[in-house]
Structure 1
Amino acid sequence: MKIGIYCSLDAGAVKDRSIEYIGVDQGVTHLYQQGILPIIAIGDMDSIENKQLLEKLQVKLFSSIKDDTDTALAIDYALDQGYDEIEIYGVTQKRMDHFMAVLCLLEKYQDIKITVYDQWNKISVLNAGVHYIDKGDYHYFSVFAFDESVISLKECHYPLDHYHLKRSDPLCVSNQMNDDYAIIENNQSILLIQSK
């Protein structure tokens, strides 16, 4: 079961209008602007400008002084409701500290299918295995290890064969697919970033 989470920053239009959405702070506004009524609003609501939008919604209000980010609270809510696939919008621009927190969440929840979108990027985790990555709208792809992983890259400009990729190694940035897909094989979870 898939759900979307739209957070405070404007990340453009959602990719899948057929699913339900959680609005996080100003993300409620971004969803309303796309004609989407969130099933719930979650957060401390410190960034939402039009508080009247909350009147029609179920709201899970938190103090701004807390141990989790609003995004983490929204993910926890989605998982508690039985969702096992999550699309996240509005977390990758301006506040780099919040973006780093999202990367921590991707690592923490690497067994859950979570994809982060903005106007230029698609970010996800690839668990151990062989993956066929469709080019879609994205020109570049990069992979990064959470700890370390042995990876092979095929059908791309810069192939690798059983390369030992460590967390501190930026070798696999800005690769390109030869045609419409690339093949990535990895023995541990890695972070995949596809960029336009």
Structure 2
Amino acid sequence: MKTKALLFVGGQYISTMEFYFRKLNETSFVSAADSGAEMLKSLGRHPDLLVGDMDSVSQETLQWCRGRGSLVLIYPPEKDDTDTQIALQALEERGFSNVEIFGATGLRLDHFMGTLASIYGLRHTLKATIIEENVEIGMVSREMTLFVNRGEIWSLFPYGGQQTIVSLEGFKFPLTDASLDYGKPLGVSNETVDEEIQISCKGGTALYFRWLKRY
């Protein structure tokens, strides 16, 4: 199975150009959902795969992508799935198991929530993570072990409606089989104290926010 792909979507880009250049240099396969291709054009990198209804990407950029060999998959505007969800499904179908998403944050919080729903829907077959320079947003349904920097701020929330039972190791406030409940923000603002952390879910799914810089 293939490993990682990048996905640029049509949201707000909040990181430095140097950050995106570094990410592009780290990964060989790059994709875009609709106007995410505009960001890639500004970076001088055409998407290997461009999907969506193309209602927000310019014709100039669309032709630029085609002229450089992008595979372009156009869907009708009247559809049930968002462009981001279609792009994630297309990457899964092509054998990718890990997708880093850029441009998913910003003022359109409804689009952000839609992206979270897409990540959740594919959680058993695809590890999709929203990443920007200062924050990483993802989900854990079973277990995740990760090397981190000490002093990172993490917040965890239940997601998906099922009872979420979580254990945390390597944090200032460790947890053992604790229930993350809606209406009780137990998982907000924890801090890493070790260089390796572990998050385990015995039930449900935990949504996490990992802040990569201290404020």
TM-score bracket, shorter-length normalisation: 0.7 to 0.9
Looking at structure 2, the residues matched to 127 and 11 of structure 1 have their Cα atoms a distance apart, in angstroms, of 28
- 1:110-144 Cα offsets, whole Å, 9 max, x none, are 11211111232111222323x33332498211112
Please, what TM-score do these two structures have when normalized by structure 1?
0.87
Query: In percent, how many aligned pairs have the same letter?
Result: 26
Looking at structure 1, the residues matched to 169 and 44 of structure 2 have their Cα atoms a distance apart, in angstroms, of 41
For structure 2, list consecutive stretches of 5 or more residues without a partner in the other structure: none
Q: Please say if 1:54 is aligned against 2:70.
A: no
- 1:70-120 Cα offsets, whole Å, 9 max, x none, are 001101111122222211111111211111111111211111211111232
Looking at structure 2, the residues matched to 165 and 138 of structure 1 have their Cα atoms a distance apart, in angstroms, of 22
- Aligned partner (choices 91, 94, 97) of residue 104 of structure 2: 91
For structure 1, list consecutive stretches of 5 or more residues without a partner in the other structure: none
Shift of 1:186: 2.2
User: Post-superposition, which runs of at least 4 consecutive aligned residues in structure 1 deviate over 4 A?
Assistant: none
Corresponding residue for 2:81?
A: 68
1:73 partner SS: helix
Alignment of 1:103-182 (within 5 A): 103-111=116-124, 112-129=126-143, 131-136=144-149, 139-146=152-159, 147-182=162-197
Corresponding residue for 1:15?
A: 23
Distance 1:55 1:133, change over 3 A: closer
Aligned alpha-carbon RMSD (Å): 2.2
- Aligned partner (choices 6, 11, 22) of residue 4 of structure 1: 6
Greater Cα shift, 146-155 or 171-180: 146-155
1:79 partner SS: helix
Please, what TM-score do these two structures have when normalized by structure 2?
0.80
1:38 partner SS: coil
Greater Cα shift, 61-70 or 145-154: 145-154
Q: How many residues align?
A: 195
